[in-house]
Chains A and B, each alone.
Chain A
Amino acid sequence: MKNIIRFILLILLQVWVLDKVSFDGFIIPYVYVLFVLLLPLNINKSLLLLIAFGTGLTIDFFENTLGLHAAALVLLAFFRPGIIHLFFPRLEFVSGEEPGIIKLGLGGFLKYSFSLVFIFQLVIVFLETFSFRHFLTSLWYVVLGTLVTVVFIVVTDLIFLPSKNKIRKR
């Protein structure tokens, strides 16, 4: 239930506000990725892929980029369990706990989100231009896009924090 509300909020935030924000032309913060990043740690891996696919398609409908976000987000979801295992091999968690800032710490969360968002941006940029012609420029956009997205993700996660604590207390 909490995830459904978060899904709707993040999608609306993306299409109402952030799509109109742009830095230096082609850089757009894709904050809605946070939804997939914050899915519970003990989620079934196949379910994770399906949710990522659905989320990506939803954004694609708004952006008229059929398949683009779905492809990028599915790849992100595919790497998510591996990245968590790589960075936090001895991470212990209870059922339903999320890999947010509270759980991983700010540094850990930065590592986690940066590497996954980088994969995501890589797919978005190169699939959108559909060529490696301007390889260096595109790579530059990937790096900048990743940085901007991660900053927005961290801020958004921090804003979500208090409500999360409330839910836990109940």
Chain B
Amino acid sequence: MRNLIIFIKRNQFFLLFLILEGISLFFVIHSYSYQRSVSFNAVNDFTGNILKTSGNISDYFLLSKINQQLLKENSKLHNQLSEKFGVNDTLSNKQDSNYTYIPAMVIRNTTNRHNNFILLNKGLKQGISKEMGVISDNGVAGIVIGVSENYSLVMSLLNSNAKISGRIKKNNQLVNVIWDENSPALGKVVDIPAHINLQPGDTVITSGNSFLFPAGMNIGTIVSYNKSENRGLNHAILKFSTDFNSLYFVYIIKNKMKKEEEKLLEENEK
């Protein structure tokens, strides 16, 4: 026993190093999957407030740019509105009514890490909860993975753990979209069956299978497609519709029916 104490005392430095390094690595390994990062991340009002302070200052300089984006979106929405009122709108209205869109400002957004996150200025108080979809004015942006009272943390599409269920618009083929991890503009479409042919310019939209996003939102357009001979499933490079380098405001999508739909699916599996 005494020998053990002496041993610990003599190697105190090395043992402490091993313990601390062990704890850190445990944390790191635990954050390497989507499910784990949803249950295991730290967003809180304190860090949120500190980050917001710098956001406030840069917001001021970006005002004109943000205004332009908002103007552009406004006109787009006006166009859609007139289109919808032109035709019989009962069908389309019903389809959309499950979802509410909550506008939010981007406080912090990175594009140069291997796992990028977006911090938004809406939280529990505004009814945000985990696993809600987030879209920009042009397309899908990410998924909420953490909320505090006033802030929410979004896993950006530019994250090695992000995977979005998509659909190729022209033939309704289901695919998955991930990040290619090299450029903040490009993603990868995976799980394309061999018989499917794609052209550059084809649009990939959300499938609506995940309850996070309504069906038919833009994810991106195909840039290049290489058909491999030996494998059953091909992949293609896609350009995201969302410009992650100029992301100033987004919408958080609240699905009113999500709980009900998930419950139904669970019951079905039993």
Contact = CB atoms under 8 A, between A and B. Distances in A.
A74 to B, nearest CB: 5
Contacts of A64: 41-43, 115, 117, 153
Contact of A67 (B13, B31, B110, B117): B31
Given A15-B50, A66-B41, A67-B25, A128 B115 contact: yes
Most A C-beta atoms less than 10 A away, residue of B42, B44, B183, B184? B42
A46 B25 CA distance: 19
B125 interface: no
B243 to A, nearest CB: 16
B30 interface: yes
A52 B269 CA distance: 48
Contacts of B42: 61, 64, 66
Interface stretch (B16-24, B128-136, B162-170, B256-264): B16-24
A71 B17 contact: no
A154 B252 CA distance: 43
B188 to A, nearest CB: 15
Interface in B42-57: 42-44, 47, 50-51, 53-54
Contacts of A28: 112-113
B28 interface: yes
B265 to A, nearest CB: 30
A130 B20 CA distance: 19
B101 interface: no
A62 B41 contact: no
Nearest to B43: A64
Interface in A55-79: 56, 60-68, 70-71, 74-75, 78
B28 A46 contact: no
Interface string A102-146: 000000000000000000000000011110000000000000000
Most B C-beta atoms less than 10 A away, residue of A19, A64, A65? A64
A110 to B, nearest CB: 26
Contacts of B117: 64
B27 A66 contact: yes
A38 to B, nearest CB: 20
B26 interface: yes
B114 interface: yes
Contacts of A17: 54
B31 A66 contact: yes
Contacts of A49: 13, 16-17, 20
A45 B115 contact: no
A145 B13 CA distance: 29
A119 to B, nearest CB: 13
Interface in B29-46: 30-32, 40-44
Contacts of B44: 61
A50 B115 contact: no
Interface in A1-45: 12, 15-17, 19, 22, 25-28, 45
Nearest to A16: B54
Given A15-B54, A70-B20, A128-B113, 11 more contacts: A12-B50, A15-B50, A28-B112, A56-B24, A64-B43, A65-B115, A66-B40, A66-B42, A67-B24, A78-B21, A130-B32
Nearest 9 interchain pairs by C-beta: A67-B27, A71-B24, A67-B28, A16-B54, A70-B24, A22-B112, A67-B24, A66-B27, A128-B114
Interface of A: 12, 15-17, 19, 22, 25-28, 45-46, 49-50, 52-53, 56, 60-68, 70-71, 74-75, 78, 127-130
